[in-house]
Amino acid sequence: MIVKETRPLRGRSLFNTRFAVALLATTALGGTLAYADEITFFAPGHLLLSRSVYDSPANIITPGVTQLPPGCTPGNCVTATADGTYPTVFNNAIVDGSFGITAPILIDEMLPFPSGDVVQTVHVPNSTERGVKTDTDQMVASFSSKSEIGLNLALDRNSVSFMGYLSPVSAIDVSNSNTPDVVDPTNPVPATDFRVIASVDRFGQFRFTKTNAYSGNNGRAAILNNANGANVYYTTGNAGNGSNPQPNGVIVGAGAQIMTPSKLALSQQMDPGQPTPVGSFSVTELGDKADKVGKDTNFRGLTVFNNVIYVTKGSGGNGVNTVYFIDTSGSVNGKPAACPTGSGVPNPAATLPTTGIAFNAANLQTQGVAPYNMCVLSGFPTSLAKATTPVPMFPFGVFFANATTLYVADEGNGDTTFNGTTFTGAAAQTTAGLQKWVLNTTTKTWSLAYTLQAGLNLGVPYTVKNYPTGINAATNLPWAPATDGLRNLTGRVNRDGTVSIWAITSTVSGGGDQGADPNRLVSITDKVAATTLPAHESFSTVRTAKSGEVLRGISFTPGTGLTHGQEISSLLCDFGICRKQP
């Protein structure tokens, strides 16, 4: 059930769930400070779910007339095959490889168990809302871009961050546009749009930071490192939508980035300049022949654990689909100290980076961002993504239950082979779903213990109210989506030795763009200590997206995981009363 839904006022608190908060603390002056007021905020311990809702009129596109991408130059144009009606609008992706439409971002606060009820809904500022003008803070997603708007708690756990675009709703092909300062003249999409990082705190206040990273493609996830005096974002994404050779800015603006948050309105922020990579990897570290420069770092998942940044790659024909970490322990003979052969484990003394890579600009076109400072996590795949043996994995989100137990969401292979009742390629997968990896502390190697799939019903189509049934004539496959694997996830370790995981599903279907399929939020509880697949563990569906809706990111609410003392200290800081660190 929907308990509350609110829409934001610019720069104000967004929520109308009321709490009376009484704070009592001893100040450094020796007196007693009392503060009591009625304020609005997210409740710690709840879940946040990001989603996007299609909100475009049919007449934004005229079939047989509209040229795509918008503003395309002769030779780079195709003619639209469908109008803006959902979901047939995404049949345009069959002719326009850059096709996408921007849409509003919504964030639901949900009860974690057992119901998954929505407590309140937050609308991220966008152009469809009253009072939002071209110079007003706003942000959108590209509706069918399945890798976007992942949610991550800041390292101090007081805000949640995600990425999108500085663009109005209903703009076409923004997800493959250039950024204003990194223009690739060979990109068939000539438009320019900043990518944007957003953070929302426990009181529903948004802050936005624009960037020129990820030109030609999309930013996917962001984490704010504001611990121990740091003040930087780490982000992941992909760049480039043109031909070789790619401009230097595209190469530099891919993969893992670092940037400083802004406190200013978007309209007041100065040009952010060139992107700043914080991590870089090349398949040459593993002894392989160099790939397309800048595409080995087509990263999606992102997390920070024990002062180490971890990212995943699970798409594209270049590089290696696997789990990586950024090594800050220096280099040996020009290679990361933690992995001189390309694969290893983090140095226990590792610290989080606060600056970017000091790369050699003269070698960008031949070596990419070098020197390299990233490693494949030991035990994870090192074979090329384009290899057929072994069959590649497709990792996305990651969650550490502890230092020796890692859960990895595998998105699945996207195989749409259909036998009349089932997507057989999806159903036959053995590693799609939730992988559990365990570290051997003697050999310092991770190994796959088992993959949780029960309850996902891989490859089995499901129906969604008001969503088409039957066959999509443009693809000769059924409209009805089926689960193919998992994307973003979050988790919680419970007192009874189990871990609860919530994850967003990926899909296969006959839709023109599978990223536009209504997907699901699922959950499962696993025994942390188990090393063989426990009987009777099965995923439950918490929520299925409606027609015209896609689910994207999942995290806990700001304030989750803080001790009582940390929470009081944080709340005091939010009201401008910060205790100095000893």
- Cα–Cα dist 322/298, whole Å: 11
Vertex 109, ends 563 and 8: CA angle to 5°? 110
Tell which residue, 521, 538, 542, 540, has the closest CA to residue 454. 538
- Beta-strand ranges (E) seen in 340-476 are 343-344, 374-377, 395-402, 405-410, 433-440, 445-452, 471-472
Does residue 487 surpass a pLDDT of 70?
yes
Does residue 472 surpass a pLDDT of 70?
yes
- Cα–Cα dist 538/190, whole Å: 47
Mean pLDDT computed over 154-166: 97
pLDDT grade for 36, boundaries at 50, 70 and 90: very low
Does residue 198 surpass a pLDDT of 80?
yes
Within 13 Å and on the Cβ side, how many CA atoms surround 544?
18
- Cα–Cα dist 519/568, whole Å: 38
Does residue 11 surpass a pLDDT of 50?
no
Task: Report the relative pairing of strands 343-344 and 374-377 from DSSP bridges.
Answer: parallel
Helix (H, G, I), strand (E, B) or coil at 490: strand
Q: Of all helices (H) and strands (E), which one includes residue 572?
A: helix 564-574
Q: pLDDT digits over 401-433, tens only?
A: 999 999 999 999 999 999 999 999 999 999 999
C-alpha torsion angle, residues 566, 567, 571, 574 (rounded to 10): 60
Report yes or no: 109 and 120 within 8 Å, Cβ to Cβ.
yes
Helix (H, G, I), strand (E, B) or coil at 488: strand
Q: What share of the chain is helix, strand, coil (3-state, %, to 5)?
A: 10, 35, 55
What pLDDT shows up at residue 182? 97
What pLDDT shows up at residue 561? 85
User: In the numeric block, which tokens belong to residue 553?
Assistant: 């990111």
User: In the numeric block, which tokens belong to residue 62?
Assistant: 């005229």
C-alpha torsion angle, residues 304, 306, 311, 314 (rounded to 10): -110
Helix segments in 306-440, DSSP class H? 364-367, 424-427
Mean pLDDT computed over 173-185: 97
Higher pLDDT, 316 or 66: 66
Q: pLDDT digits over 98-144, tens only?
A: 999 999 999 999 999 777 899 999 999 999 999 999 999 999 999 99
Does residue 566 surpass a pLDDT of 60?
no
Report yes or no: 487 and 411 within 8 Å, Cβ to Cβ.
yes
Phi, psi torsion values for 544, nearest 5 degrees: -110, 130
Tell which residue, 312, 338, 355, 290, has the closest CA to residue 485. 312
Does residue 184 surpass a pLDDT of 80?
yes
- Cα–Cα dist 96/102, whole Å: 15
What pLDDT shows up at residue 562? 74
- Cα–Cα dist 419/42, whole Å: 46
pLDDT grade for 466, boundaries at 50, 70 and 90: very high
What pLDDT shows up at residue 40? 58
What pLDDT shows up at residue 164? 98
pLDDT grade for 60, boundaries at 50, 70 and 90: very high
What pLDDT shows up at residue 96? 97
- Provide the percentage of residues in the chain whose pLDDT is more than 90: 84
pLDDT grade for 307, boundaries at 50, 70 and 90: very high
- Provide the percentage of residues in the chain whose pLDDT is more than 70: 90
Higher pLDDT, 389 or 258: 258
Higher pLDDT, 19 or 163: 163
Beta-carbon contacts of 428 under 8 Å, excluding residues fewer than 6 positions away, are 459
What pLDDT shows up at residue 571? 53
- Cα–Cα dist 548/82, whole Å: 16
Does residue 393 surpass a pLDDT of 70?
yes
Report yes or no: 141 and 127 within 8 Å, Cβ to Cβ.
no
The average confidence (pLDDT) of the chain is 91
